[in-house]
Structure 1
Amino acid sequence: MSEQARSPKSRGYRMTKRAEQVDQTRQRIVEAAVEVHGTVGPAAGGISAIAERAGVTRLTVYRHFADDEALFAACSEHWLASRVPPNPGIWTAIEDPAQRLQTALADLYRFYADGEPMLTNIYRDKASVPAAFRVGLETRDEALADLIAQPFTGPAADRRLVRALIGHATSFWTWRSLCVGQGLTQAQAVRAMTALVLSHAEH
């Protein structure tokens, strides 16, 4: 009778331990995906590379994640959780075009610098990223540039030019060229791109 009384508790304990093990394995896979994407990138870091880094089989990976999109979503969420993303809500509260531009570029460039290794690989291997995330990334980048361009007024041709220059200034690759390739500081890069945009907005 005492064995029977203990049995439900024993089963509950085993189920709890099993659930913990499942969670730990899932977390290990996610962390492995972040490491792989941050070192070799999504193109070279497929499921096999992630499984090897996590110390599990490919089958185990697919038991936890139905497809590449689900794994990429979990990887992105985990990576972003340890960072401070850009905050366009702060930019849009600024009505002055030059101040909005400068504030936005400083915010974006800070984020780029903080996540440079991962972002370099993601943007470089964008074609290998799941389609939903690739489209989301492109849409987000366009939307951010649009927000920065909103306060700029003038003839349509001038607005198109300013929007194109803002798109260039907000590009991750522009930041990387200036700050990683050419060795500018964040502040120098912000000033240079702000001056570029404003010099054309004034004409």
Structure 2
Amino acid sequence: MTKRTKKRAYRLSARAESQAETRRRIVDATVELHEKLGPAHTPMSAIAERAGVTRLTLYRHFPDEAAILAACTSHWSALHPFPAAALWEGIADPATRAAAALAAHYDYYAGTRRMWFITYRDVGLVKPIQPLVAQVDAYLTGVAESLAAAFRAKGNVLRQLTVTLRHALAYATWLSLEERGLDTRGKAALVSQWLEGVRNKHA
């Protein structure tokens, strides 16, 4: 490799690093503003100002609101992933397994409540959020179906167990129980009673 080639490679590398750093600043600024104000109240101009870049630079990296929301969500989700299924999948008793999964999700909501509150508040106002929320809904539905299946129930009992668990896993349910003063253990215990009621009703 000649000196000229080395210099050119160095310049390209430095430029790529600079662009990556700019992109990170923009994403970090977006996360901060979304968590503080919400997507519906965060104009692109505010993101550019917080990140210390021009609007032209902002749009060069993220051409529209959907693109920056996707990057913001990806970054935030990587920092705050949903609980790993390994926390409960190894538990044989289905009721204990469900309680463990619920507790893990309730602790997760407790640590990330501000962003979830903002997200669900603004989902009807900011269209690009809707497919992202739909992905979360699909994930929670999958968890509920898996937990319900462990009870080895059939027909209407299985359906009611699944519906109960899906309701229990929702952020809105966590928030409602949180506002009524229940801690994680209390929330999970209450849902366990719901599940037991479904099973006893059809015993």
TM normalised by structure 1 equals: 0.84
Q: Which moved more, 1:169-178 or 1:187-196?
A: 187-196
1:102–1:194 Cα contact (<8 Å) kept = yes
Counterpart residue type for residue 185 of structure 1 = D
Give the secondary structure class of the aligned counterpart of 1:183. Answer: coil
Q: Which moved more, 1:166-175 or 1:47-56?
A: 47-56
2:107–2:184 Cα contact (<8 Å) kept = yes
TM normalised by structure 2 equals: 0.84
Match of 1:79 in 2: 76
Distance 2:141 2:6 in 1: 55
Correspondence 1:117 to 2:114: yes
Distance 1:202 1:27 in 2: 53
Match of 1:152 in 2: 151
183, 191, 196: which is aligned to 1:198? 196
Change (3 A) 1:134 1:84: closer
Give the secondary structure class of the aligned counterpart of 1:202. Answer: helix
Aligned length: 198
Give the secondary structure class of the aligned counterpart of 1:56. Answer: coil
Sequence identity (%): 37
Runs of 4+ deviating beyond 4 Å: 5-13
Change (3 A) 1:168 1:48: same
Counterpart residue type for residue 177 of structure 1 = S
Distance 1:6 1:166 in 2: 65
Counterpart residue type for residue 52 of structure 2 = G
Q: 1:31-65 CA deviation, whole Å, 9 max, x = no partner?
A: 01111111111222242332232122333222112
Give the secondary structure class of the aligned counterpart of 2:41. Answer: coil
Match of 1:41 in 2: 38
Change (3 A) 1:13 1:163: closer
Any stretches of 5+ residues in structure 2 without a counterpart? none
1:112–1:172 Cα contact (<8 Å) kept = yes
Correspondence 1:59 to 2:56: yes
Distance 1:87 1:102 in 2: 14
